[in-house]
Amino acid sequence: MSRYDVNVLLYRLKKDRELREKFKADPSKALADADLTDDEREAFVRWDLRRLNELGGSLHLLLSIPGLGGH
């Protein structure tokens, strides 16, 4: 997955309440169809903000996802 795609997924988590709720309930299941590398999938499932940022995730998006962000 590209940095762009990581950010698209982050944006979807920010804007799509249904996806966000599924992700909060079971991240692995919510991302089952996502085209992620193993490293990306692990970072998303663990919700490792630092690693997601290292993988190209926008810090602004990471911190602004309702119920998941760093606020």
Share of the chain above pLDDT 90, in %: 86
pTM of the model: 0.90
Whether the Cβ atoms of residue 1 and residue 35 lie closer than 8 Å to each other: yes
Q: What is the pLDDT of residues 3-30, one digit of tens each?
A: 888 999 999 999 999 999 999 999 999 9
pLDDT of residue 2: 79
Q: In the structure, what pLDDT confidence band is assigned to residue 70 with cuts at 50, 70 and 90?
A: low
Is a pLDDT exceeding 50 seen at residue 71?
Answer: no
